[in-house]
Structure 1
Amino acid sequence: MAVKNAFYAQSGGVTAVINASACGVLQTARKYPDRIGKVYAGRNGIIGALREELIDTSLETDETIAALRYTPGGAFGSCRHKLKNFDENKREYERLIEVFRAHDIGYFFYNGGGDSQDTAYKISQLSERLGYPITAIGIPKTVDNDLPFTDNCPGFGSVAKYVATSTLEASLDIESMCESSTKVFILEVMGRHAGWIAASAGLAGKGHDQAPHIILFPEIAFDREAFLARVDHCVKEYGYCVVVASEGAQYEDGHFIADAGGRDAFGHTQLGGVAPVLANMVKQALGYKFHWAVSDYLQRAARHIASETDVRQAYAVGEAAVEFAMNGKNAVMPIIRREQNSPYRWSIGEVPLGEVANQEKKMPIHYIRDDGFGITADCREYLLPLIAGEDYPPFENGLPKVARPANKLVPKKLKATFEL
């Protein structure tokens, strides 16, 4: 079998462990010098392929590649660029094939969420149609944990650990000061349509009297009066109230509480901040002193407190992607299969890309408490193994050490440039 080069790209919002998947891809690919020539990484994701900006990872040392395992962010740059259907934007697909053909690329590994899996699937199908077959393997990644078929998604476990830890620590702060200071604290977390991240905050407490006292899920319609009544009850009963709100919390009619009125590059509603909106409700209706915070990028960049389970699984799906390609598989995505909860055991499976693309996995209703403001025992049992274990990065002068790849581009071979 002829030696072919490979193309790897990162897509969408990055995570604390997406580079662990990159490490899995690159280290595994180096085990097959008779099958895979060089692995090129897209500079800024799929945009790098369209612009013919390909990073030559063969120039990186083994030490640098290994260090990706404990480095957050996207080592090669990510992007939010969704390829449209072939008939709508034929030129983009033709350009990808031109670049792949020019650089003798026969393998495509795309590391991202649902939209990214859709892109990988389209390339696997259309490359045949355009006369240059590509082996396309998707690699799951999303902090939202909303990809179907996989038990959980790499990136989520570390965010869950960060949010649960932050909720626990902040609640102790609020509790200690509530007699004369802040009585209501609101933490906003990510999660547009699925409440998995918000749910993870529930691990910080073990009863109605322990924080978080209120969790707002996208899956449960927001009821303003019920919310305010619960806040008031908690302050009067416990002295304070901790609220964790998903950014995607919405009213019964589907209108987001924090709808900012715009759209992002993937066509998703741009959300403007649910925490300050909720804080204003509390102030106007109840008059309690409040404080709010948005975990924002901190939750997905916190590699220093990453879940060991998450790091191992992120590496494993990157490794499996290459192994799948070497075993002749195409248009599939590695998934995580839960075999048992206690002790926690998992394995790697697979799913066709055509089935996973553009789908979202929301919270099962039996994971949400009957009053809609907390998690159930079943949800706790599901979440706890995913935040288990510590995988601290090495530290230097008190700060985490990170990989700094050279990211040298290969010379361009096409004369034509490409404008997005």
Structure 2
Amino acid sequence: MPKTKNAFYAQSGGVTAVINASACGVIETARKYKNKIGKVYAGRNGIIGALTEDLIDTSRESASAIAALKHTPSGAFGSCRYKLKSIEEHRAQYERLIEVFKAHDIGYFFYNGGGDSADTCLKVSQLSEKMGYPIVAVHVPKTVDNDLPITDNCPGFGSVAKYIAVSTREASFDVASMAKTSTKVFVLEVMGRHAGWIAAAGGLASTKDTEIPIVILFPEVTFDKEKFLARVDELVKKHGYCSVVVSEGVKGPDGKFLSDQGLRDAFGHAQLGGVAPVVANMIKEGLNLKYHWGVADYLQRAARHIASKADVDQAYAVGKAGVEFAVKGNNAVMPAIQRVSSKPYKWKIAMAPLAKVANVEKMMPKDFITPDGFGITAKCRQYLEPLIKGEDYPPYKDGLPQYVRLKNVPVKKKLKTEFKV
């Protein structure tokens, strides 16, 4: 067996403002371990790139281009929503991965994603061992939903939280200025299928020196229409206006998503989106108040211009640590962020076994949500505040941020067979 092995890196699921910072951490660190890692190949469009043998040679990129990934949003190599089925259901998928890895002398697998990616990473490490071609598989955490277990928080979340907190504050200033003769309620829809971490960030917009009437609707709290309308009515009568931050994953008493349109995404999950107008219409019909609503959608996860410095630093750190874990022979693990203290904010990287990460969702703790179900507690605020602190602006030119576009030179295919996905 050669002394060095190539590495494969792929991005999975919805991208973030800082996932490329993790890619930068992986590639820059791998280049420092030339005695163990040859080239870093990236999968074009995530794991699909591995299955179709559509690999990108990152060694063809300059050091400055790779460094620029740290301040560039989205997925530089392309991502995908493609969940590998269980080994029992589709063993051929995993065998194909190993076949491609073997053909390109790949001994390291870095999968940058959320819970489904952790599961895939674990399965690859297990099957490769059984097939006689062991792969060191390391999961690099990423998800704006902040719902991975063990790690204190997830890279990507801090920047989304900052964007939502800022947007809630700014939109609230807007509606407050118009409340006398026009809009009384602004409704902002944010991401979050099962966990209300992003919605909770809206609560940070209101502080002791800048108080704002905000109602938050969490997926963890069953939606009560009458109770909700009563709260909105109370705040509008007291302050003249209020803002509502609603998670896309809010459910009614029947257990159905308020925004479920009957569609499904590539992972088989309900295709959500559109809860803001549903809630806004309730306010119109129930209280006869003028409203405006908005959907943060891709804007919240692509906003690198307002990224949290803590988030950027952590995203890079998990990529770097992932390589360091791998070259030491650690397999089926994930770099996890461990909070040392909140004031001052200190953290370090720990190692988590993938067996305890895969397919486990971390929900908002009950003591993070106020008893009425519409706000965040002091304990939640203490958890969230450090994650949005610090600015790490990208370079600007002519008023616009300068983001890098890589060459993404393809690796010559070696296999004669093709694989359809």
- 1:193-204 equivalent positions in 2, closer than 5 A: 193-204=194-205
Look up the SS of the partner of 2:165 in the other structure.
helix
Task: Provide the C-alpha distance between the structure 1 equivalents of 2:327 and 2:272, rounded to a whole number of angstroms.
Answer: 41
Residue aligned with 1:279, SS? helix
How high is the TM-score relative to the length of structure 1? Answer: 0.99
Contact 2:306 2:392 in 1 (8 A): yes
Find the aligned partners of 1:59 and 1:74 in 2 and give their Cα distance: 18
Aligned partner of 1:77: which letter?
A: G
Q: Provide the residue aligned with 1:383 in structure 2.
A: 384
Q: Which moved more, 1:253-262 or 1:367-376?
A: 253-262
Tell me by how many angstroms 1:212 deviates. 4.7
- Whole-Å Cα distance in 1 between the matches of residues 213 and 113 of structure 2? 30
Deviation at 1:252, TM superposition (A): 3.0
3-state SS of 1:259 partner: coil
> Is 1:45 aligned to residue 46 of structure 2?
yes
Question: Given that residues 201 and 212 in structure 1 are in contact (C-alpha distance below 8 angstroms), is that contact kept between their aligned partners in structure 2?
Answer: no
Cα deviation digits, residues 64-123 of structure 1 (max 9, x gap): 000000000000000000011111001111111110000000000000000000000000
Asked if residue 335 in structure 1 is aligned to residue 336 in structure 2, the reply is yes
What corresponds to 2:320 in structure 1? Answer: 319
CA distance in 2, matches of 1:138, 1:212: 40
Preserved contact between residue 202 and residue 212 of structure 1 (Cα < 8 Å): no
Distance in 1, Cα, partners of 2:97 & 2:353:
22
User: Which residue number corresponds to residue 32 of structure 1?
Assistant: 33
Give the alignment's TM-score, normalised by structure 2: 0.98
State the percentage of identical aligned residues: 68
Retained in 2: the 8 A contact 1:307–1:390? Answer: yes
Number of residue pairs matched by the alignment: 420
| Letter matched to residue 51 of structure 1 | T
Q: 2-side partners of 1:87 and 1:141: how far apart?
A: 27
Partner of 2:24: 23
Q: Which amino acid aligns with 1:75?
A: A
2:258 pairs with 1:250: no
Matches for 1:56-205 after TM superposition, within 5 Å: 56-205=57-206
Which amino acid counterpart does residue 146 of structure 1 have in structure 2?
D
Aligned AA for 1:143?
V
RMSD (CA atoms): 1.2
State how far apart, in whole Å, the 1-side matches of 2:310 and 2:207 are.
22
Following the alignment from structure 2 to structure 1, what is the Cα–Cα distance between the partners of residues 38 and 153? Answer: 32
SS in 1 for 2:414: coil
Deviation for aligned residue 1:211? 2.8
Over residues 378-411 of structure 1, what are the superposed CA-to-partner deviations in whole Å (9 max), with x where a residue is unaligned? 0000000000100000001110011111001011
Q: Which moved more, 1:247-256 or 1:183-192?
A: 247-256
> Quick check: 2:340–2:347 contact (8 Å CA) kept in 1?
yes
Note the C-alpha offset of 1:273.
Answer: 1.1
| 1:262 partner SS | coil
How is 1:300-319 mapped onto 2 (pairs within 5 angstroms)?
Answer: 300-319=301-320
* Offset of residue 210 of structure 1: 3.5
SS in 1 for 2:8: strand
Question: Paired residue for 2:401?
Answer: 400
Question: Structure 2 counterpart of 1:325, which letter?
Answer: A
**Separation of aligned partners in 1, 2:395 and 2:278:** 40
SS in 2 for 1:417: coil
Q: Deviations over 1:366-388 (max 9, x none)?
A: 00011110000000000000001
Q: Match for residue 278 of structure 2?
A: 277
> Is 314-323 or 1-10 further displaced after alignment?
1-10
Q: Specify the alignment match of 1:289 in structure 2.
A: 290
Which whole-Å CA distance do the structure 2 matches of 1:393 and 1:206 have between them? 28
Give 2:376's aligned amino acid: I
Structure 2 unaligned regions, length at least 5 = none
1:31-62 Cα shifts (integer Å, max 9, x gaps): 01111110000000000000100000000000
Q: Are the aligned partners of 1:167 and 1:212 in contact in 2 as well (CA < 8 Å)?
A: no
Gaps of 5+ in 1: none
